[in-house]
Amino acid sequence: MSELFFDPAFLLGELGLAALIVVLTLADAFRKPLYQLFNGTTQLSELEYRNRQAGWLTGIGFVIVAALFIYTNKLTGGEPAILLHNSLKAGGGLLIGKLVILIAGILTLLLSIRYTSIESIPGIDYYLLLCFSLLGALTLIAAENFIMLFLALEMMSIPIYAMVGLKRYNPRSDESAIKYLLLGGFSSGFLLLGISFLYGATGSLVISDVLTSLSFPTIELATPQALFGALGLIFLFIGLAFKVSLVPFHAWTPDVYEGAATPITAFMSVAVKLSAFAVILKIFAGSTSFGGFDSILVGMLGFFALITVMYGNSVAIVQTNVKRMLAYSSIAHAGYMALAIAPMTHTVDAAKAVLFYGIGYVAMNMLAFGVLIYLTRQNHYCETLDDLKGVARKFPGAAAMMTIAMFSLAGIPPAVGFVGKIQIFMQLINAHMYITAVIALLFSFVALYFYINVLVVMYMKEPDTDKTIESSHQFPVWVAMAASALLIILLGILPTPLLNWSQQWASILF
């Protein structure tokens, strides 16, 4: 792997996203001439026009950025490099991760267009914050030193704190925003404490240097260096576990997922989770073994992951609000992903299993939330199980989509969730953690109940009120739903390409 100072070819996508942010801002700031130019044909109010303009610009921008990522791959010959004095890694398999996160952003955008106008959320702020958050996630998975790691994590989180509170006139949204902000700030504090302990123990901020110079000769942690190194790693893990909502640090998840605008919930549950997991993989499951500390980590990770699976799946059963149920299910899925690295084998296969599951999870969760967004109508959320009663009769398409999403989340073949779960359990079985595997498997049967319950309500119950939704502007939502459904089925039947991609992404973390 070569080390360069700066080669713009490697960062075309990120630079494109930054340019998009500037263009979005300036186009909205000086919108008057544009508005007059386009208003002759459309007769939109200025507010409506601003929403449209921001949406279109963001959409075109995201597609250009995606094209830039692919072009980068061609330009750099698929070879990764470390840029800017160990600030970022770029190129190679990392591009796959970046594309996946960008696709999550594009799906979020498609789901948002109608939702923001129903909720009268200011479009320009919404799309700008989405771009910032994406930029953060894209740099987070590429960060090579702890300074960039922290800055990128904040870049990813700060816009989301604001986006969660964008439904200003809804007290629940305000409540969830303040909860997320406070707990997120707290977790950033843990992360910083971890980073400073690691810096104190090793004298370096470059992640790979820190990991190689951390030495735990025995399990006893008998030197100050080992003690502070171990504490630093634990604090770092706590900070990241907040973002992926592993169990002792999950308390914000249900409230925030319920209160936030549904597309934001979808974005948070996939992009933030996936990129935070990429960082966990890089630090904890990377090629450098922690020696004596590994056995402590196996216990810690295994315990947290297992109680996460148990807690998430069992609490989800009693939820009557589908968004809340999906929040608990997302806690449980974080647990499954953490289970794959719990044996601390430091192999590419373990990282590959997590990334495969994470990428599959992007498609399934986007689809599940997409159906909820599709069914949302003016002055009425579609959130509770009662709202879903008899949906299959009125909207067979949406019900079919929900079926695919629920099957995949539950891990029923031929959906991609099934292949993902197999990958995870293979890791546990290879490491001879049979009891853990059996417990996790039992709880995924428990999970079947509440996923199937949604379908039962949709297909078997009588609709209790007359439900209609405006069919206008539903096209983007359909595109997003169809794309995710197609991905779920295709990757479930033919997982090989996705396995290769996650293999490439995983190998860059080593």
Partner 1 sequence: MAGQYLPVLLLVIIASFTVGLILLLNALLGPKAKQRNDFPSKYTPFECGSDMLEDNNKRVSIRFYLIALLFILFDLEGILLYPWAVVARSIGTVAYIEILIFIFFLAVAFIYAWRRNALEWR
Partner 2 sequence: MDFNIFMYLTYGVLAIVGALGLLIAKHPLRGAMGLLVTMLALAGMYAQLHAHTIAVFQVIIYAGAIMVLIIYFIMLLDIQSQDYIKRFAPLFWLGAPVVAVIVGIFLYKLMQILGSSAGVMSRLSNAPALQSSESYGGMKAFSTSLLTTYTFAFEYVSTLLFAAIVAVIAIVQLDWKGQGHA
- Decide which of partner 2, partner 1, none touches 151; Cβ closer than 5 to 8 Å per partner kind: partner 2
For residues 59-98, which are near partner 2 according to CB under 8 A?
83-85, 87-88
CB of 22 to partner 1, least distance (A): 5
Handedness of CA 136, 139, 140, 141 (dihedral sign): positive
CB 10 within 8 A of CB 81: yes
Q: What DSSP string describes 321-364?
A: BHHHHHHHHHHHHHHHHHHHHTT----HHHHHHHHHHHHHHHHH
- Dump strand ranges (E) for 41-141: 81-83, 88-90
Tokens of 44: 């939109």
- Decide which of partner 2, partner 1, none touches 29; Cβ closer than 5 to 8 Å per partner kind: partner 1
Neighbours of 471 (CB within 10 A): 7
For residues 375-394, which are near partner 2 according to CB under 8 A?
378-380
Tokens of 423: 């990958």
- Decide which of partner 1, partner 2, none touches 335; Cβ closer than 5 to 8 Å per partner kind: none
Q: Which is nearer to partner 2, 173 or 329 (CB)?
A: 173
- Decide which of partner 2, partner 1, none touches 30; Cβ closer than 5 to 8 Å per partner kind: partner 1
- Decide which of partner 2, partner 1, none touches 139; Cβ closer than 5 to 8 Å per partner kind: partner 2
CB of 450 to partner 2, least distance (A): 27
Residue 151 binds partner 2 (CB under 8 A)? yes
For residues 219-238, which are near partner 2 according to CB under 8 A?
221-224, 227, 231
CB of 128 to partner 1, least distance (A): 8
Please name the amino acid found at residue 160.
I
Q: How far is CA 207 from CA 184, 214, 225, 277, 288, in A?
A: 22, 11, 16, 16, 11
Strand order in the sheet with 88-90: 2-3, 81-83, 88-90
Q: Which is nearer to partner 1, 21 or 325 (CB)?
A: 21
Candidates 91-99, 144-152, 447-455, 483-491 — which segment interacts with partner 2 by CB under 8 A?
Answer: 144-152
- Decide which of partner 1, partner 2, none touches 26; Cβ closer than 5 to 8 Å per partner kind: partner 1
CB of 199 to partner 2, least distance (A): 11
CB of 127 to partner 1, least distance (A): 13
CB 337 within 8 A of CB 354: yes
d(CA 449, CA 446): 6
Backbone torsions φ then ψ of 119, nearest 5 degrees: -85, 0
Residue 177 binds partner 2 (CB under 8 A)? yes
The DSSP H or E segment spanning 86 is none
CB 141 within 8 A of CB 278: yes
Q: How many residues contact partner 2, by CB under 8 A?
A: 48
CB of 31 to partner 1, least distance (A): 9
Residues forming contacts to partner 2 in the complex (CB under 8 A) are: 18, 21, 47, 83-85, 87-88, 119-122, 125-126, 128-129, 132, 135-136, 139, 147-148, 151-152, 154-155, 158-159, 161-163, 165-171, 177, 221-224, 227, 231, 378-380
